[in-house]
Chain A
Amino acid sequence: MLQVKTLSTLFYKDDSIIKAVDDFSFYIEKGETLGLLGESGSGKSTVALSILRLISKPGKIVSGAIELDGQDILKLSDKEIINIRGAKLSMIFQDPFSSLNPVFTIGDQIAETISLHQKLSKKESWRKAKEMLQKVQIDPDRIRNYPHQFSGGMRQRVMIAMALSCQPEFLIADEPTTALDVTIQEGVLKLIKDLQRELGFGMIFITHNFRIAKKVCDRFCVMQKGKLVEEGSQVFNKPQKPYTKKLVDCMNLLYA
């Protein structure tokens, strides 16, 4: 289980302090999909980056605990967190282009992640990387291609292959289809869900898109200005808070 307890993450600006995440708590079990929902700027990505301890200046995690199977990630040394990141906890981002390195082949990048966390030979790592490509429905023969040789949707598949290459317990997907065309989105979402069924990881699915969240998630946390507004599986059927209700109404108005 992954438990975020009273997390607060601030950004220190010249003339002000932004409470990007403000006393925020939630939990997620293995195998389930938790939707982290909120409008832009509500603090969703900051939650994600805090869990992976990727917050850097001018940001700082000022309080709280992030417990993975009972162990507080915030108390780990830098070396220990590197062992967890990409292995037990993994992440995919909105923009698959900027998160892949343009000067290395996708094989290099997937195999590197694998060899970092699993004591495998170079040859073995590449074999595993090919296997992962197959899982995300990319022709393994393209393993020596560079990121720019793939379309947006395929790059996101490569990211998924990399993120899942070490069988993480939890995957954080931050707006994974927002940058993709609608007809491509569906395939990527289906792939993620299929792989989740196969591999059993828990997923924090971050999005501002209520329509997609409703399709993909079991349970939701609605976030506003860094704070938790409402939590549960009732968000769409029986929203409890006026803010949630407003957003769900908007969705129904537009997509009904």
Chain B
Amino acid sequence: MLKIKNINKNFGRLEVLKGISFEIKRGESLGLLGESGAGKSTLARIILGLIPKDSGDIFLNGQPVDYSIRDIRKIFQIIFQDPYTSLNPKIKIGEAIGEPILIHKILPKNKIRQKVEELLSLVRLSKEHYNRYPHELSGGERQRVGIARALSVGPSFLILDEPVSSLDLSVQIELLDLLKRLKDELGLTYLLIAHDLAVIKYICDRVIVIEKGEIVEDDKVDKVLTSPSDAYTKKLIEAGLG
């Protein structure tokens, strides 16, 4: 579905991404594992078209992705780590979820409320959450709102950038279970970014390990766990699961 080819990105003199190449098949959950500063979020922002790349190509179903069209947002969506800063504190939850539907003119105005209620139920929030403000929700609930908002435009591909990193363990599991279910129900494709291998192991079949802007491993999760080919990966596994 998505093919990334030889992506390079510098910030000033800092080489953040060095020749990144990989593919994601439709319906796959690919994990992207790396420590902070490795370049994971930069890569996510490039795939989404939020920042330009210096060189390299991105193909969607064989065609180079045209980031100038607004409809690209109907295909790629992102969930960020901190559900608090990614929601406007002054906007009600229901309206925040409906906003992309309005912007992309996906439904007439009078149909939006019903769609938002469907989305709330899809992420296991209740109708009564519609009129709440972000600060009236827990971290896990806010992250569900972020997911509902991302799904509102019917994307097929979700980039999840450390979606559970700031949450408590029991809430992490709830959200990961939700993400698993949504993927099956809606036939989504995931790129799940994490610094915790356990989170990737819970959801993904395949994992890419990125160290200082370079891919050092790309294989089935089971394979990587039992016999990592790279020394850095080995260190990450020992520290993260030991």
Q: Could you mark each residue 142-170 of chain B with 1 if its beta carbon is under 8 Å from any beta carbon of chain A, else 0?
A: 00000000000000000000000000111
Chain A residues, Cβ within 8 Å of B107: none
Q: Could you mark each residue 225-256 of chain A with 1 if its beta carbon is under 8 Å from any beta carbon of chain B, else 0?
A: 00000000000000000000011001101110
B169/A181 in contact, CB under 8 A: no
Contact of B170 among A39, A209, A255 (CB under 8 A): A39
A209 to B168, CA, bound (A): 8
**Interface residue stretch chosen among B73-81, B95-103, B127-135, B232-240:** B232-240
Q: Could you mark each residue 175-190 of chain A with 1 if its beta carbon is under 8 Å from any beta carbon of chain B, else 0?
A: 0000001110110000
User: A208 on the interface (CB 8 Å rule)?
Assistant: yes
B170/A181 in contact, CB under 8 A: no
A181/B168 in contact, CB under 8 A: no
A251 to B172, CA, bound (A): 10
B169/A183 in contact, CB under 8 A: no
Majority secondary structure, A binding face? helix
* Interface residues on chain A, size class: 10 to 19
- Which single residue of chain B is at the shortest CB-CB distance from A179? B36
A250/B236 in contact, CB under 8 A: no
User: A118 on the interface (CB 8 Å rule)?
Assistant: no
User: B198 on the interface (CB 8 Å rule)?
Assistant: yes
A28 to B232, CA, bound (A): 38
Q: When A and B form their complex, which 5 residue pairs have the shortest distance between CB atoms, in order from nearest?
A: A39-B168, A181-B35, A182-B239, A254-B198, A182-B240
Interface of A toward B, CB cutoff 8 Å:
39-40, 181-183, 185-186, 208-210, 246-247, 250-251, 253-255
Can you name 17 A-B residue pairings with CB atoms under 8 Å?
Answer: A39-B168, A39-B169, A39-B171, A40-B139, A181-B35, A182-B35, A182-B239, A182-B240, A183-B235, A185-B239, A186-B242, A210-B169, A250-B170, A251-B169, A254-B172, A254-B173, A255-B198
